Amino acid sequence: MEESECIVCFSQYNEDEHRARCMPCGHTMCSKCLKKTIREVSKMCPKCRQHFTAARLEELPVNFSLEGMIKSSKSLKTQLELAKPCISIFEESCKKAEECKKQSQKIFKEYEEAIIRKENIIAKLQEEIKTQKNARRKMEEKVVVLDEKLSGLKEKRNSYEQAITPLNISESIREVFRWSVEVQNEAEKLISVSQGIENEIDQMMRTIRVKDDHLMENSALSISNEQAGLHVYQDKHTYNSSPAKLKMGNLDKKNQEV
Ligand SMILES: [Zn+2]
Ligand SMILES: [Zn+2]
């Protein structure tokens, strides 16, 4: 510090032979250099060359304020020395903070870039959404048209269904026809069964007829055998000559004979 040194010998001011003293002009010089100057014939300030008349050093006042300032400065220097470790720690912290700051700036930049990319993606997506919305609106319009067509077709179908209802009657007729075919088949079966029965009856009848003929032949034979006796009997009772009555007559005759 420039003010803490003598302007002539550049020695540090102290409270001994280099004590700071003021000249009338206001400038300061050390006591040793002032003693020399006082001894000279022409006494003047080396800084501003103003002459002064002091014969003794004690006539020039001590610069106490400068001394105070120097003391304070020394105290500050001591404090600064004490604070050095703290300062180095602080500097280290500052260095780390600076690195942190750089790192943060880098991350921030990356984030910013990422945000820009995302914003671009969002913009594209929004564009896509817009396109899809338009497409959906068109589809909805088509759906409305199709709905109208569908309702028209439904009406047509209803009318066709109404027209088809009489056709269902023909289906019933077909059903009845099927039934009638079944009934016919059943009837045919019954007819064949009845024919079988009829054949059996015919057979039986033929058998009966044969037996009957046989019986008749036998009866006729017995009648002719008894013919002679009958002539006598006919004279007394007027009987018809039918074979049955003749038979009866024979029986009566037999009864009479018993
Ligand atoms: Zn000096
Ligand atoms: Zn001066």
Q: pLDDT tens, 91-104?
A: 898 899 999 999 99
32 touches 17 (CB < 8 A):
yes
The rounded distance, in Å, linking the Cα atoms of 53 and 38 is: 8
Tokens 């304070």 found at: 72
Ligand with the closest atom to the CA of 30: 1
DSSP state letters, 104-122 = HHHHHHHHHHHHHHHHHHH
Ligand with the closest atom to the CA of 17: 1
Tell how far the Cα of 162 is from the centroid of ligand 2, in angstroms. Answer: 134
Tell how far the Cα of 12 is from the centroid of ligand 1, in angstroms. Answer: 9
Tell how far the Cα of 225 is from the centroid of ligand 2, in angstroms. Answer: 218
Tell how far the Cα of 111 is from the centroid of ligand 2, in angstroms. Answer: 66
158 touches 150 (CB < 8 A):
no
Strand ranges (DSSP E) for the chain?
A: 20-22, 28-30
Write down the pLDDT at residue 67.
94
CA–chain centroid gap for 247, Å, is 116
Tell how far the Cα of 81 is from the centroid of ligand 1, in angstroms. Answer: 28
The rounded distance, in Å, linking the Cα atoms of 5 and 11 is: 5
Domains of the chain: 2-62 (3.30.40.10), 211-257 (no CATH)
Ligand with the closest atom to the CA of 47: 2
**Tens-binned pLDDT, residue by residue, of the chain (258 aa):** 568 899 999 999 999 999 999 999 999 999 999 999 999 989 999 999 999 999 999 999 999 999 999 999 889 889 889 888 888 888 898 899 999 999 999 999 999 999 999 999 999 999 999 999 999 999 999 989 988 988 888 898 888 878 767 666 677 777 888 888 888 888 888 888 888 888 888 888 888 888 888 888 888 777 676 665 555 545 554 444 444 444 444 445 444 544
Tell how far the Cα of 73 is from the centroid of ligand 2, in angstroms. Answer: 24
